[in-house]
Structure 1
Amino acid sequence: MTSHTLTTTKTISPTSVGEIVSGLLHTLGDPDPARAAEDITVVGADPLVPSVHRLAAATSAAIGVFGRQTAALGAQRGHPHQKVEVQAGAAIDQLMATYHTTLSGRPLGALLDDPTLLGNNDFYRARDGRWIFIITTYPHLRDAVATVLHCPLDKVGIAQATADWDAHTLEEAICARGGVACAVRTRDEWLAHPAGRYVAQRPVVEIERVGDGPVRPLEPIGAVDEALAGVRVLDLTHVIAGPVAARLLAQFGADVLHLTRPDRPDPIPMIAMTGGGKRNAYCDLRDAHDRAAFYDALQDADVFLHAYRGLARHGASTEELVRRRPGLITLEYHAWGADGPWGARGGFDQLACSATGFAVEEWTDRPSLPPTYLLNDYLAAYLGAAAVATALRRRAAEGGSWRIRVTLAGVCHWVQELGLLAREDVRDLPRPGHAPLAALSTTCTDFGPLTEPATPFAYSGRAVPQPGRRSPLGSAALQWR
């Protein structure tokens, strides 16, 4: 299709990193965004990888804002004021964490129960000349694709079967079966689509007061305590964005209790990667006993994270939870927005890139994901965690119950709005490989030695904490210590 060629990529005047940081702080409602922005320094700049998008600038800004908001929370509780320095190369490594992370010397992808489920995720060309990204990462998603395409579930079989479908028809068929897929669209096509218009009208992070709640002052902490010490977090998330956000909160002192439905677990390698500092309990909100235990834990929770659709059916909507626990802060992750035209549709990082025009802008000989492969999950994690730190500060001053929403498609849209680099300036850069741009760190875990990208920022006068212990699913009770 002629609409899916390089001519759709327009070079947009880039926004400075300082402006990006200031914009995020304003979006979060920081009480002094100008001063806060002065506390953040980014070392290095785009382009570091062959992408027309400003991956280093966007990720460095999100990381810097998280570091600064966490430091500000600590300062309100007695820590000395800190400035934050982010390494742009380390920010790129964060986007590639699933590729730089090894467990007992083995790459995470090799340790999945069925590595082919992940390997089949790709762009496939349809009968009408358009492309579609199909995902089979989990068994239920694989089964949805198999039901629709009636083909061997390998790349050759999927490609041959896809060639008999029009892209948009196949997208609808797979999603109707409970799977996830997305036809590739240009940015103009996405912005003309009802779901695209919905996403474009919202900030990259939505943070709003949704009810009354008591002022909860932040108790003083000692020099050895981390900024979020004493904050209790219920983490009902899966895959990457939500789990990494909760891991960041745990790393900086929060007591995080991760909840997993026992029949839909994330793979063990993902738990090892995203589980630092968390305890893990089983919880199925469809079960009356588990639901009662969840409500009991909620009474002492400060924050609730989730990344699932349909929680209202099980009494776990934000409205119901803040009624039960006034003063609660909720962080919701969605692919396309909770209330928009695609609110009931599932999605992943790659599908957001496909829908929004991002993959067309990255075009090589076909639509392409960014050279880091992932983008939205890690950006969403840092943005959501920064918003939680900000909401805790605001609750301490204003009281109230707060809801934060981050969407994967919204993150894509935000990165596109930061401006595009000229293709001739990036096309000859080497693609990132197994060698990281910054440091790796290795820690012992219950699953074996874990090597992963080091924390990508530093404080001016305080050591940044390391992620805590990784523990198996179901190894803790659904209650606070």
Structure 2
Amino acid sequence: MTASATEPTTEYDALRDLYRQLGITGEETGGKVTVTGADPLTPSVHRIGEACAAALAALGTEAAALWRERGGDRQDVTVSVESAIHQLMAVFLTRASGVPVSELIEDPNLLGNSDFYRAGDGRSIYVLVSYPELRDIACEVLDCPPGRQRMADAIAHWDAFELEEAICSRGGTAVAVRTRQEWRAHPQGRLLDGRPLIHLEKMGESAPEPFPAIGELSSALPLTGLRILDNSHVIAGPIAARISAELGADVLHVSSPTHPDPNGMIIETGIGKRAAFCDLLDPAQAAAFRRVLAGADVYVSNYLNLDTKGFGPEALVEQRPGLVVLDYHGWGTTGPWSRRGGFDQLACTATGFAAEEGSFDGPRLPPTYLLNDYLAAILGTAGAIEALRRRAREGGSWRVHIDLAKVCMWVQDLGLFPRADVAALPAPDPTRAAGELATVHGPFGEVRYLPTRIAYSTLRPRLDRSAEPLGASSLAW
């Protein structure tokens, strides 16, 4: 492995760190845990492949350990760094009736206009307009129509930090490019710097809940018989719930009819789930939600401000003692940015990750485009399984919390490669994983997707149903 420009590390150092945070060991699988390959494999100065491989190996360890606790056989767990890189690009492999889901966005300009722009003070700013309401806020602040060049012209008259504040104060999403040092000196960065990557805490006492008995092991999976209530949207939350479905859980996704995700993302993140509408502001639907919550084992959420509506983690575990809450945030639940929207690209921009990938004057996203969304999904699922295992042993309600910006910071802390060592490496090619795609059929036709890239001795995780349109199922188990 090429020497690091900062503190040297390996994929096993990253895995040991995750084991420490989860409180587990590789021996709990009853077999061996192996990570093959090493970075750098892409023109990234960051150890993105090793970071994702470590996360996948930790998830595989948790799944295999749970399988043994439920009467299953010992498992070897194997992950490759190259496959982990493909995992970060999974959305670019998913096809619906042969069409890439990345091409199915209702307005391609929403994604295409989300980018780095040079502000008038010389600092770049990432303006994210991937939803119509976010586009409208940004264009209202900029006083321009939603065209890329018109946006660029308007942004050139702003100070980057002033524009960031103007857009975010109205509920929009934009972040000025910062260096790593600037971010860690920022109040929000300092706060996250002192927090764990996987925040796992017991929220209250309740009786232990042993796992339900498995009838026929040959057809079962680690999460068979468990229910996941998925109240989340792109990307980390719904992918965590999809991974849970792949491991055997019964997953019900709920969403407001007035805030739909793009169809392409529904196809990618909704595989393996049923999908119901639920407007939590409607008393009758909120009551139905609480009835469903009473039967859930894990609740997944990444929406802002649900606590102000009576649906925060504390309120939920009071209604359903023994619940495991897996929640995601961009920036942390306290601090000056706690009410700001967070997305993968914004976390890379704020933390200095993008400035390190390119330069301060020419920031870039990682060569996989996405990073912390898929990483957070994998890490959160591992944390949720650990919480379920602890609930079975000692009882209690549990919370697993992941912040996207902290994921970036963790990857940064794994060390950097000298730019000269990676500059000539080829860009990652997700089509190299085309032979690993699985197929499901449903309302969106034939859907081909990349499964979670973890190999077990005998376990064969699977998804038995395709995604369905939002609201296609009833709000019930």
TM-score for both structures, normalised by structure 2:
0.95
Residue number among 185, 195, 203 corresponding to 1:192 in the alignment: 185
Please list, as runs of the form range in 1=range in 2, the aligned pairs for 1:241-252 lying within 5 A after superposition: 241-252=236-247
What one-letter code is carried by the residue in structure 2 that aligns with 1:13?
E
Aligned pair count reads 470
Contact 1:442/1:449, CA 8 A, preserved across alignment: no
Query: 1:450 maps to which residue?
Result: 447
Instruction: Indicate conservation of the 8 Å contact 2:30/2:74, yes or no.
Output: no
Residues 103, 264 of structure 2: 8 Å contact kept: no
Label 1:35 to 1:462 Cα distance change in 2 as closer, same or farther (>3 A).
closer
**Correspondence for 2:415 among 405, 419, 423:** 419
1:442 Cα offset (Å): 4.0
Q: What is aligned with 1:202?
A: 195
Task: Give the match's secondary structure for 2:275.
Answer: strand
| 8 A contact 1:78–1:220 mirrored in 2 | no
One-letter amino acid of the counterpart of residue 9, structure 2: T
Q: Is the 8 A contact 1:185 1:354 kept in 2?
A: yes
- For structure 1, the residue ranges without an aligned partner over 5 or more in a row are 1-9
> Residue 320 of structure 1 aligns with which residue?
315
Q: Please state how far the C-alpha of 1:196 moved relative to its aligned partner.
A: 0.3
Give the Cα separation in 1 of the matches to 2:306 and 2:375: 24
Q: Which residue pairs with 2:5 in the alignment? A: 11
Return the offset for 1:454.
Answer: 3.7
2:125 maps to 1:128: no
Matched with 1:402 is 398
Does the 8 Å contact 2:26/2:33 carry over to 1? no
- Counterpart-to-counterpart distance in 2, 1:126 and 1:176: 18
Whether 1:67 and 2:60 are equivalent positions in the alignment is: yes
TM-fit CA distance, 1:33: 5.5
What letter is aligned with 2:272? G
Alignment-derived partner of residue 137 in structure 2 = 144
Letter in 2 for 1:456: R
**Coordinate RMSD, CA, aligned:** 1.6
Q: Which residue of 2 aligns with 1:373?
A: 369
Return the alpha-carbon distance in structure 2 between the equivalents of residues 393 and 180 of structure 1.
Answer: 37
The CA distance in 1 between the partners of 2:355 and 2:31, in whole Å, is: 35
SS of aligned partner of 2:254: strand
Q: Retained in 2: the 8 A contact 1:336–1:410?
A: yes
Which of 319, 327, 341 matches 1:332? Answer: 327
CA drift of 1:436 comes to 3.0
Distance 1:37 1:428 in 2: 41
The letter for the 2-side match of 1:472 is P
Indicate conservation of the 8 Å contact 2:31/2:75, yes or no: no
- My pick for the range that moved more, 220-229 or 318-327, is 220-229
Quick one: structure 1 residues 38 and 187, their matched pair in 2 at CA, closer, same or farther if it must change by over 3 Å? Answer: farther
Separation in structure 2 between the aligned mates of residue 442 and residue 382 of structure 1, nearest angstrom: 19
Moved beyond 2 Å, runs of 4+: 32-39, 432-440, 451-455, 461-469
Distance in 1, Cα, partners of 2:30 & 2:155: 48
SS at match of 2:182: helix
| CA deviation map 1:175-207 (0-9, x unaligned) | 111110000000000000000001111111100
**Any idea what SS the aligned residue of 1:250 has?**
helix
Following superposition, the deviation at residue 467 of structure 1 comes to 5.5
Q: Secondary structure at the match of 1:132?
A: strand
Change (3 A) 1:42 1:438: farther
Of the three residues 421, 431, 437, the one matched with 1:435 is 431
- Partners of 1:124 and 1:131 within 8 A in 2: yes
Determine the C-alpha separation between the residues in 2 that align with 1:25 and 1:67. Answer: 11
Q: Quote the Cα distance in structure 2 between the aligned partners of 1:292 and 1:149.
A: 41
Partner residue of 2:109?
Answer: 116
Query: 1:109–1:115: 8 Å Cα contact kept in structure 2?
Result: no
The 3-state SS of whatever aligns with 2:75 is coil
Distance 1:398 1:187 in 2: 40
Do the aligned residues in 2 keep the contact of 1:103 with 1:448 (CA within 8 Å)? yes
Instruction: Give the distance between the partners of 1:415 and 1:368, measured in 2 at CA.
Output: 16
State the shift of 1:463 in Å.
2.5
Distance 2:451 2:464 in 1: 10
Q: After TM superposition, give the deviation of residue 152 of structure 1 in Å.
A: 2.6
Query: The residue matched to 1:230 in structure 2 has which SS?
Result: coil
Mapped contact 1:440–1:451 kept (Cα < 8 A): no
Question: Offset of 1:36 from its aligned partner?
Answer: 5.8
Change in Cα spacing, 1:271 to 1:154, as seen in structure 2 (3 Å) is same
CA–CA distance in structure 2, aligned partners of residues 70 and 467 of structure 1: 19
Range with bigger deviation, 158-167 or 85-94? 85-94
1:436 aligned counterpart, secondary structure: helix
Q: By how many angstroms is 1:439 displaced?
A: 3.4
Could you say if the C-alpha distance between residues 135 and 305 of structure 1 is closer, same or farther in structure 2, counting changes exceeding 3 Å?
same
Equivalent residues of 1:21, 1:37 under 8 A apart? no
Amino acid at match of 1:260: S
Q: Write the distance in 1 (CA, Å) between the matches of 2:430 and 2:227.
A: 36
> What is the match of residue 469 of structure 2?
472
Distance change in 2, residues 1:129/1:38 (3 Å): farther
Equivalent residue number for residue 102 of structure 1: 95
Check conservation: 2:28, 2:65, Cα contact below 8 A: no
- Work out which of the residue numbers 261, 266, 272 in structure 2 matches 1:271: 266
